[in-house]
Chain A
């Protein structure tokens, strides 16, 4: 018995070649979808793991309210006396540099804990002893001890605020025993840590063990905690990483969404052309009495099988692609459980099947709309001119709306809407554009005229035109994002980190001239830079403040060695003078968030001290986020001297930066272990390298998009060659060589590709700017519109290359059309 399903199965076998492009596109979309969801999930997981490891040893962590603040030990004792508190452990932690006995260096967190609790700490397999009270002693986890090459009794150099000190390793412990604290921590006595970093009587956190439910305790304790102390919200830390994740997620989602859209489009084309080719046999079936549903079930069966298979391919290859993507991401682990992977795989598989069914909907519509006799009528001629005009009008309106939304004062969501409107608008106008350019060429010489007339008369090429616009538009927008963010970053780094030689230390030190830099030859000027955490707010009392960090600089020295990439084009000299007079420079992201600019004032606060400072200028801040620049005397008014952790050097005339770097490296080796000393040129190279890495990953995404799109376009073109075999073979019979027929196809492809690539590139660049704003907002930074010309050329080359390679397929198919076919086929 021939059921509708069996019928569909047979048809599928017969037309397998026509379905190939749609199948590949669906599989690619499924792969992208799965890889995207898995990767973003894993990235979040890794971040979470990183945050967890910052968490403490007990039930609830208490930290200072203000960034960079500290908790007094007296407050810690107050906390220990609070109800339901079984134990309160104050600790002092600071990231520092350790140097082992044989010179190997590491930068872990040095944590001081109250050694009076030693008796309660029972580490199984502890080698040696725990650090003694007030002693210069160190407890190392076994892995760190191994990396440092330090054993019991060995001296380890530690960089503190006052310079290098030696601590003796007294104990080595299994990291597993330490639980969460194992993550890159070494331990000493609390008093020792406080002394090392010049913070006597102060701690960075208090971990509390409670006798009641920790969540409940945290909620009720909040009001009773001492002034300036809050319950640590690990969510807040996650939130600070979230923007980057979100930005990556947005890009990946946009790409897989576009791949999905293209695959639906391709499936739709494949099915409607297959159904069109079969219209005779379908109407015959209907004539001999087959019900419509029977025929429809056949088509649905084909779509379902295609979707199921493509989805399976995606589900199998997706995890492999994910593994590749994970190599690029920082961190380790976080790979979801097998059921988790299975669930994601199932979801993308289901979406793929859905896409296949959606793709065949148009074909089913054709089938159902048509009467039994319709199959013998003439072939339909694609979308009508009126519909094309209507769509084109809609597209233009969308582009106009997007332009209106893209005004400078637009919001994140209006930028996002503009992004979609631009791409959709360009896609809608594509058929009109192709028809229009074809009409211009229709009176040209033979090859052009043939191709042009086909394209202007028939709507068959709607789908490839749309696909090219989507694929080029998306790629151009991604590259614009990469170019804009990368370009801005590069410019900022070039100016702000442009000093001839730069030193940065892991730990801020009090010494303004560590290692006697002034005595090193070949240096014209040295300026020391410190860092502090603070809160900044506008003068409007109702506005919320922003916690961030700041560089404290000596204006004359700083600007003598480097620059800030100011966005305002006022005189640089004025800005420096203003900074000299106690004004501050804001990154564009902070200025935007607070709604302030040059001429306004902001309030800076560290703990209970605050300073009002005018805004001297606003600078591009891509690589430094929300970091402010404040003059040193303002920083001093805000609190204790924060010390110095970076030095900018200007090289004297006649000396080479490389030589100076080598000499400086030797000079500070003792005083600043682990410090990095690099030249401005090296800094720029490093930045360029980092930017190139992420540009390459964007290019990778773009390549996938372009490949999927090109394969789709080639697939549709070769479907159209199959459909036109009678026409092409007639031309062959009349005397056109195979090559000449191939050239007709080439001309078609060119007329199709050139205007659509151009419009896609234009719309995509504008859309890229919109996307750039969305992403910059998500990351809290600012971006400057910048089209990277070499990148754009790479895209154009990539697209043309992919189209050429995949385009060989229909051209070869056209060339193979046998001249004798014209005698047979209708």
Chain B
């Protein structure tokens, strides 16, 4: 097995809500994710999936425990360091796309390069390569609001993988898409993890069709990992549909068994 890209030990996240109530969203999680692995988190609403993803992506710090991502301990990082860490090591895909409305498709994809003041000539080639792969190269200078939801999410995935970050995170990336667009976005995400040099992917989803692209499916309940399932390694993009349908059925059966 390849070395761990993500290593979580005893992570807890406690939210202090109004009236001094304490709410433990993540309650002692241990997790090892190898380089090149794609993990899907599933579980009922409120089980702590997004919270865990926030901890792993450096959007939030754990109340207790250690979180190592891409070889760095991030649980004790300050706000500035975390920002730097996210900038260099994480690619995010959001449920609501979140493209910058006043920047073109190309500029949105190369956002990190823009922020780092790199000239267009240095990043245009990479943008064209990514857009060609998702079939949107003719929309390179379009503004986001002229794209469909599925197209916007494909651009968002391109943005996430533009700088080849070691870790890719997606929270419900297909939550706002129809099944055809979902399939395209998922294939893209899978391929980014498989072809990226040692990239690791973490995916939060309710969608069985989305979970099938994962190497491992983790079930969260009440802030703990309540089960793990390996649906059998597929061939990534381009695997045949019957095989995929079979995997989805197997995950459903497992989920039903674990929640029963």
Contact = CB atoms under 8 A, between A and B. Distances in A.
Contact of B112 (A730, A735, A818): A735
B88 A735 contact: yes
Contacts of A310: none
A730 B152 CA distance: 15
Interface in B42-93: 50, 53-54, 57, 59-60, 79-80, 83-88, 90, 92
Given A730-B94, A737-B83, A737-B84, A445 B117 contact: yes
Contact of B59 (A445, A454, A731, A733): A733
B117 A737 contact: no
Interface in A807-826: 818-820, 822-826
A16 interface: no
Contact of B83 (A449, A454, A732): A732
A752 B87 CA distance: 29
A672 interface: no
B120 to A, nearest CB: 10
B115 interface: yes
A733 B59 CA distance: 6
A736 to B, nearest CB: 6
A767 to B, nearest CB: 34
Contacts of B142: none
A818 B54 CA distance: 11
Which residue among B59, B102, B114 has the maximum number of chain A CB atoms within 10 Å of its CB? B102
B58 to A, nearest CB: 8
Contacts of A727: 98, 100-101
A738 B86 CA distance: 13
Nearest to B57: A733
A453 interface: yes
A826 B96 contact: yes
B90 A735 contact: yes
Contacts of B90: 735
Contacts of B50: 820, 823-824
B102 A822 contact: no
Interface in A708-753: 726-727, 730-740
Interface in B85-137: 85-88, 90, 92, 94-96, 98, 100-103, 111-112, 114-115, 117
Interface residues of B, number: 31
Contact of B79 (A733, A737, A823): A737
A726 B83 contact: no
Interface in A436-450: 445-446, 449-450
A730 B95 CA distance: 12
A378 interface: yes
Contact of A822 (B84, B85, B98, B145): B98
Contacts of A284: none
A183 to B, nearest CB: 68
A457 interface: yes
B35 interface: no
Given A727-B101, A823-B171, A446 B114 contact: yes
Contact of A726 (B60, B96, B111): B96
Interface of A: 378, 445-446, 449-450, 453-454, 457-458, 726-727, 730-740, 818-820, 822-826
Interface of B: 50, 53-54, 57, 59-60, 79-80, 83-88, 90, 92, 94-96, 98, 100-103, 111-112, 114-115, 117, 145, 171
27 contacts: A445-B117, A446-B114, A450-B102, A453-B102, A453-B103, A454-B102, A457-B102, A458-B102, A727-B100, A730-B92, A730-B94, A734-B112, A735-B83, A735-B84, A735-B86, A735-B88, A735-B90, A735-B112, A736-B83, A819-B86, A820-B54, A820-B59, A820-B60, A822-B92, A823-B95, A824-B50, A825-B96
